[in-house]
Structure 1
Amino acid sequence: MMLELKAGATSLERLEGAIARMQQKHGFVRVAADAPQFPAGLAALLLTDDPQRNLEVLDACVILPEALNGLGADVARLVAGPEAAAALMQRFAVARAPAVVFLRDGDYLGSLNGIRDWQEYRDEVACLAAGPARPRPIPIPVRDAGNSGACA
């Protein structure tokens, strides 16, 4: 008997599988790298990165759809794969992935970086989604910072 050894899925392959599940099960739409489209109304945009750099990216792919359920069906669910996320992270001055950027009619409401305990995460999602538009942050390349659109 001969055993065949196969390499496991890469971190990017696991991320692609997670994004595909978000699209199929939760109605997320993948944004294009060259011309992201932001629909009218409330939108939540998940910015991802290679999970090899930060395992929370895969967690966010599971947690965010559940957190958005409390907002009802009127929220547009968007996801940016690593190929589109880098430019969007710079555009919205997001320090690191995973991050969720909230927009209403294209206006910036704030962002939520990283993963928190469930209740805190859900509360911040609801706060940002209900909040007023804010000036969009100055797009600067940053690598490590906390929540850039905190509700307090």
Structure 2
Amino acid sequence: MSLDIPCDVQAPPLVARLVERHGARWVDAANVAAVTAEPGDLVLFFSGDPVRFPECLDVAVVLPELQAAFPGRFAVGVVVPTDEDAVARRYGMQRWPSLVFLRDGRYVTAIAGMLDWTDYVARVAEALDLPATRAPTIGIAVVSADAAPSCH
């Protein structure tokens, strides 16, 4: 996978810097399955449009500091802006900017928006200790063919 930003994508310099200087990887709709299938903890950064969500630039600056506060605990993937909506649907993510935590390819939790440093550190520590779970996406209820009718 190339770490170069695709030529047709315009990412804000502070977001692109995550890949260029801090070892993050670009994630798009084409490679998200492969990237997220790798073992370990991964944080996907959904920056959003910096005009609509100016705090995304703050999160882009804080994210390497969070990674340094938890050395070796998680890798970072930066979702390319043009594919954010498609990738966000996989994880039920509806707020920008957001950090989506995955472990061994499975959803763990998400942290949306910009937080105070102490709150971020506490929330990231909590996320790294949580078990993987089902992403909060729209699901289809499964009912057994032999289930008794019930209101509940």
Aligned-residue Cα RMSD (Å) equals 1.8
What SS does the aligned partner of 1:100 have?
strand
Alignment length (residue pairs): 128
> Amino acid of the residue matched to residue 93 of structure 1?
G
Write out per-residue CA displacement over residues 11-50 of structure 1, whole angstroms, 9 at most, x where no aligned residue.
x95x431122111221100112323121211111101211
Instruction: Tell which structure's C-alpha radius of gyration is larger.
Output: 2
Counterpart in 1 of 2:109? 110
Structure 1 residue 99 displacement after superposition: 0.3
Q: Distance in 2 between matches of 1:29 and 1:118?
A: 24
Q: Distance in 2 between matches of 1:26 and 1:110?
A: 23
1:59-98 alignment, distance < 5 Å: 59-98=58-97
Counterpart in 2 of 1:18? 14
Q: Distance in 2 between matches of 1:74 and 1:94?
A: 22
Bigger mean CA offset, 117-126 vs 83-92: 83-92
1:135 aligns with 2:131: no
Contact 2:24 2:75 survives alignment (8 Å): yes
What SS does the aligned partner of 2:12 have?
helix
Write out per-residue CA displacement over residues 82-120 of structure 1, whole angstroms, 9 at most, x where no aligned residue.
112111222211121110011110011100000111100
> Amino acid of the residue matched to residue 24 of structure 1?
E
Counterpart in 1 of 2:27? 31
What residue ranges of structure 1 are gaps of 5+ in the alignment?
Answer: 1-11, 141-152
What percentage of aligned pairs have identical amino acids? 32
Bigger mean CA offset, 25-34 vs 112-121: 25-34
Bigger mean CA offset, 101-110 vs 61-70: 61-70
> Amino acid of the residue matched to residue 17 of structure 1?
P
- Give the TM-score normalised by structure 2: 0.77
- Give the TM-score normalised by structure 1: 0.77
What residue ranges of structure 2 are gaps of 5+ in the alignment?
Answer: 1-8, 140-152
